[in-house]
Amino acid sequence: MMNRRLVHLIARATIGGRQAYTLHPIDPSTFFHDRTKPSGADDDGTTSMEEFQPPPPAMTFLGPDTEPQDMDFMPVGEKGVLAVDCEGSAALYSASSQTLSTIPTLRAPKVEPAFFPVGDSRLYVMDRKPRRDPRRCFVALIRGRESGLRCRMEWHWRSLPPPPYLAPTRWNDDDDDYSDLDDDRQAMVDDDGPKSSMVVEGELGDIAGHTMVGDSKIWISTARAGTYTFDTGSGAWAPRPLYWMLPFRGRAEFVPEHGLWFGFSSLNNKLCAFDLAAASETRPPVLRGQ
């Protein structure tokens, strides 16, 4: 029943006047206890909160010595954490071997990236504002041999096609056109299709909600541009959008024990459970509880 994957807690700190981040690997099975007397229960039968002290940090990351000093952290597999700073420099920490490996620098840094881990050897990363750099808004960190090179297994970044609502001409490494996408609305949602009643805040094309469905499907909802799906197996986007918005803000996590996705509702910002498995092109996800 219990998911044994490690929870990596990242905490901010300051070292020598610089922004730092401490990483604390936590076994989630220690959160709950099977006792005759419920954990946190007082003698009078009432329940109180139980304090939790994180374990000592397994690793400390220093932010860059130039502003901004922020860093982003993303899971890789069950026991890996990728750290990326505002310059695109990256390092991979392995909790199983307690080692730190250098990773090739991102060609274009990501700001508050949306991430999608797939298995132990792939991590998909997308800029939440893909129109900012359409050519490099979507990449994958892959452990393998790069095409045409006979070398050992290494981590490398692979550029991927941007979402379909960005004009196809933008997908060209030699193209320096970063013009506005306001003229590309005709490539988003067909005028004759049903429209969602949900209003999503943000600029045109900004990612409002995202999640993984199954082992290979990436779903993103965009501000005023519909919901799109990417198949990591085929490496292609579905050509048409779904006619509804994902009903949560930011990231939603699938919990196998319940068969549901948990995220914060777009309507009231409460933590809710959603059933995405039965969703189809015209049938939106079902709210199961909050």
C-alpha distances in angstroms, 214 versus 60, 69, 207, 253? 33, 35, 20, 11
Tell me the pLDDT tens digit for each residue of 103-130.
Answer: 999 888 887 899 999 988 899 999 999 8
Lookup result for tokens 């290494």: 154
Whether the model clears a pTM of 0.95, i.e. scores above it, the answer is no
pLDDT (tens digit, 9 = 90+) per residue, 56-98? Answer: 999 999 988 888 888 999 999 888 999 999 889 999 999 888 8
Does residue 182 have a pLDDT over 80? Answer: no
Q: Measured between alpha carbons, how far is residue 263 from residues 106, 253, 255 in Å?
A: 29, 7, 11
The C-alpha atoms of residue 125 and residue 91 are separated, in whole angstroms, by: 15
| 97, amino acid identity | S
Q: How far apart are CA 153 and CA 141, in angstroms?
A: 13
Q: What is residue 73's predicted lDDT score, i.e. its pLDDT?
A: 94
What letter does residue 49 receive in the DSSP assignment? Answer: P
Q: How confident is the model at residue 289 (pLDDT cuts 50, 70, 90)?
A: confident
DSSP assignment of 223-254, as one string? TTTEEEEEETTTTEE-SS-BSS--SEEEEEEE
Q: Is the pLDDT of residue 22 over 80?
A: yes
Residue 193 above 60 pLDDT? Answer: no
Give backbone dihedrals phi and psi of 211, rounded to 5 degrees, phi first: -170, 170
Find the angle CA(109)-CA(6)-CA(88) to the nearest 5 degrees: 10
Higher pLDDT, 182 or 108: 108
Question: Between 65 and 146, whose confidence is greater?
Answer: 65
Summarised one tens digit per residue, pLDDT across range 148-181 is: 555 667 899 999 999 988 865 444 444 433 333 3
Amino acid of residue 257: E
Torsion of CA 253, 259, 265, 271, to 10 degrees: -80
**Domain boundaries defined on the chain:** 1-31+56-105
Confidence of residue 264 (pLDDT cuts 50, 70, 90): very high
